[in-house]
Amino acid sequence: MREMKTFKAISLIERFKKVCKSYGWKTSESEDWIAVGDEFHSFLITRCIHPSSFRAIVANRKCIVREGPTYRVVDAAYSAWLFSESPQLEIYQVIFEKPELSKKVAIYNLSPLFEGEKLCIKLNRTDSLVFEEFERFIKREFKVRLRGYSINRHKPESVTATVK
């Protein structure tokens, strides 16, 4: 079941990348990024991640770009984390602890979507055009509502309960 949720997230991104191509944005066949001008918008799909690993990755914000047979590493202007299971409260706290991260990193809890529900949680304070289009895409294609995450509304024991 867990693998199926991750597969659905990958399929969702593949469909979204087709929409991005229609805007003339550059997409990758093998990696999950979209380039608009010289800015890379990275999508990271995960089931779960330890908060210390999450903290290290969001601080780094690197993206691998394949060009023919070679690869290069670029700085991702923005990163979106797509969770196929509800992330731990500490994941959100990493973003709230460092407000500058909230301008570059978005979190989408898509677990309710993969369970057939129509309300998902987002934390997106970026000005990424790609992430704005991603939100319109999932609303349009999956009839999902996105509710903004607020640390004040969620207590550790109720993070999952508020989504369902």
DSSP string, the chain: -HHHHHHHHHHHHHHHHHHHHHTT-EE-SSS-EEEETTEEEEEEEES---HHHHHHHHHH-EEEEEETTEEEEEE-SEEEEEESSPPPHHHHHHHHHSHHHHTTEEEEE-HHHHTT-SEEEEE-----HHHHHHHHHHHHHH--EEEE--TTT--GGGHHHHH-
The per-residue pLDDT for 9 is 79
Q: Which domain holds residue 10?
A: 2-163
Question: Quick check: 1 pLDDT over 70?
Answer: no
Each residue's pLDDT tens digit, 66-93: 888 899 999 999 999 999 999 999 999 9
The domain tally of the chain equals: 1
| pTM reported for the whole predicted model | 0.86
Q: Worst-scoring range by mean pLDDT, 17-21, 29-33, 48-52, 133-137?
A: 29-33
